[in-house]
Each structure stands twice: as structure tokens, then as C-alpha cells.
Amino acid sequence: MQAKLRIKDIAEQLGVSTATVSRALNDKPGVSDDLRQQVRKLAADLDFAPSMVARSLAGARTGAVAFILHRQAFPVSSDPFYFLIMQGVERELDRAGYHIVMSTVGNQPEDNNLRVVRERRVDGLILAGPDINPSLVLSLSRSGLPLVLVDNALERTPLNCVLCEDCEGARSAVEHLLGHGYKQISFVGGPTSWLSTRERQKGYECAMRDAGLPGTVVHEKVTTMEAGLAAGRQLFAGKDRPRAVYAVNDAMAMGVIRAAREAGLAVPADVAVAGFDDVSIAASTDPPLTTVRVNKEIMGELAARRLLELIGDEQQPHCRIIVETTLIIRQSCGCVGSGEEVESGK
């Protein structure tokens, strides 16, 4: 058990004051180059780093950021979507010497006050996912703590957020389905309270409208494979079943494929399917899934970078950051591939 070193110990060993050591370590002016080098060398040799707790109290910067996730977002997908975003956040924060404090919220009344905020543990917040109560988002944004949303945005209040090309990505996928000659294409989505569902549906509707075709839409309460299965059963039960289905994400697309099989329909011969996200197994499903790739790590990195900017300068205008998507063409849409995937320009 190493004794915990303090700046004072370093100062005494060098016969200087603590103020000097602090200045040297923090790259602040007011120390001769020679002395600065000495201090740094000793600190490095002793493997010393200043106590972040004391720094925070004296400074007013905790050097930490909260990553807030809704509890429902944990098991929502077979793919660690928000985990990958979090990885991006962590990577970027680490570069800046920051740390990430993870926390979750539910829908209980007591969740309307984040402990991590009340205890003033962090310099800023990243709120991930569309499940977080808008009233919580609003109250947090008014609290003065810098805040960035990921995969979410408020409808009427501009806030800093990071999104992907939900509308454009979905549109390109639906246009690809239309390119196959399919006329009857249905959309399967999650709750309309989710921005991603609304935007992707908008992309679907734009594509259909431009093609002069009517559309049909099914909404489920969640976007799991099971929900996709249920939606697919509904779609394939009636007489005029769709020739293709566009699902709001890959998990639902996989559920739709299962429903098609249940109904004795071949995919893509009888029913074509496409999704969104490009989760890791999308390339390995049967048939491999045509989908829209979104780079989750980049979304996380951008959110972290934006938050650090806000922490450095509170008074900045809100901005939306939209990350590019890429249509990934595999076989579920009806393309007869060599088995290799194709990145399509949109």
C-alpha cells in the first residue's frame, strides 16, 4: 500500500513551495524552465498525479462528464448500440484527461433529479437515447450544466445534439427497394415519440411519395426482434401482403424475416426486407441484411467533443450534429450478390 503523495511532499523534496509545484504541473506561467523540468521529472519518477478531488474543489472543474442512459435502453437491442456510442465518448474524453461517470434513469418521479448532478460530480452531461423524459431533459438544460443529447432531440426546443442521417438513410434504403420494382412497401417502426422512428418514417414516406405510391405503417412499442416478429405477422396475415418491408432497425428487420418464414414466404423472393443500424450480425443473418450503416463510435466522439467545447465556453449557440450514414447492400433486399456487401453511394 503506497502512501498517498501530495503536492506538499513533492515540494518538500525539492525545497520549493507547493504553489510552484502546482504551477509547474499545470503548465502555468511563473516557473523557470529549469525548475519546471525538475518538478516534472520528480513527479514522473514518483508516479505522482494531483488528487482530482482536491483539484475539483479548488478549481471548479471535476474533470468528469456523466453519460446518462435510460434503463430500458440496456436490453433493447441485440446489439450494443449505446455501448458503442459510450465507447466513442470514453475515447474522446480520455484524450482530454476527462472521465466518464455512467448513470441511468427510469421513469419514476425520483428519476427527475439526477443524483450525479445534485452532488455536482460532473462538468457536463451526455444524454443518450430517445427514452429519456423530455421534462427531465428540459430541467437539466435549464440547470446550466452543459448538455448534449445523442440519438435524441427535443421537438420544439433547440439543444445541442448528435444524430445520424435518419431520414436520408431510410430514404436511400427505401429508394433502393423501389429500384427493385417493388410497389407495395410497408414501414415497421417503434414509438413515434422516438425521433429516430419519426425521421426514418419520414424518409420512407418521402421516397414513397416521390414514387407516387401509397404506404402502410405499423408501429410497435419497442424495436426488438420480437416486436418485428409481431409486426410481420400482422402484415403477412392479410390478403394484400406487402412485397417489401422497411424496418426501422435491424432487430425489427430480423423479426420481420422470421414472420415471413412463418407465413411460408421466402426472403427476398417473396418479401424483401431492409433495416437500419448495421448491427454486427446483420452481415451474417440469413439472408444477409441490406441496411443503413451508422457509425456509433463517431457519434459518441462527436458528442464528447461538443460537450468539452461547451464546458470550455458555456455561451455557444445550440447546434445539431448529423453523422453520415451509408447504405449497405446485401441480399435481403433482393440483390443477388456474390455474398459480398456493397457500399452504395446515395
**3-state SS class at 141:** helix
Which one of 1, 2, 27, 29 is in contact with DNA (CB under 7 A)? 29
Q: How far is the CB of 145 from DNA (least distance, A)?
A: 15
Question: Pairing between strand 99-105 and 64-70?
Answer: parallel
Which one of 17, 26, 37, 57 is in contact with a copy of itself (CB under 8 A)? 57
Stretch that binds DNA, among 20-28, 93-101, 240-248, 321-329 (CB under 7 A): 20-28
Q: How far is the CB of 49 from DNA (least distance, A)?
A: 7
Which one of 16, 154, 206, 281 is in contact with a copy of itself (CB under 8 A)? 281
Q: Is 143 in the site for DNA (CB under 7 A)?
A: no
Kindly report the backbone phi and psi dihedral angles of residue 264, in degrees, each rounded to the nearest multiple of 5, phi listed first.
Answer: 80, 20
Measured on CA atoms in the order 201, 204, 209, 214, is the torsion positive or negative? negative
Q: Which residues 6+ apart lie within 8 Å of 267 measured at CB?
A: 257, 260, 261, 273, 287, 332
Per-residue contact string for residues 8-47; x = within reach of a copy of itself by CB under 8 A: ---------------------------------------x
Helix (H) or strand (E) holding 56: helix 52-59
Stretch that binds DNA, among 8-16, 301-309, 317-325, 326-334 (CB under 7 A): 8-16
Q: Is the Cβ–Cβ distance between 178 and 207 less than 8 Å?
A: yes
Q: Which residues 6+ apart lie within 8 Å of 45 measured at CB?
A: none
Stretch that binds DNA, among 4-12, 162-170, 203-211, 266-274 (CB under 7 A): 4-12
Which one of 44, 46, 57, 138 is in contact with DNA (CB under 7 A)? 57
Which one of 46, 58, 138, 266 is in contact with DNA (CB under 7 A)? 58
273 beta partners: 245
**DSSP assignment of 73-140:** GSSS-SS-HHHHHHHHHHHHHHHTT-EEEEEEE-SSGGGGS-HHHHTT--SEEEEESTTS-HHHHHHH
Which one of 40, 258, 318, 346 is in contact with a copy of itself (CB under 8 A)? 258
Nearer to a copy of itself among residue 137 and residue 279 (C-beta): 279
Residue given cell 480520455 in the structure block? 94
Q: How far is the CB of 10 from DNA (least distance, A)?
A: 8
Residues in contact with DNA by the rule CB under 7 A = 4, 6-8, 15-20, 22-23, 25-26, 28-32, 34-35, 50-51, 54-55, 57-59
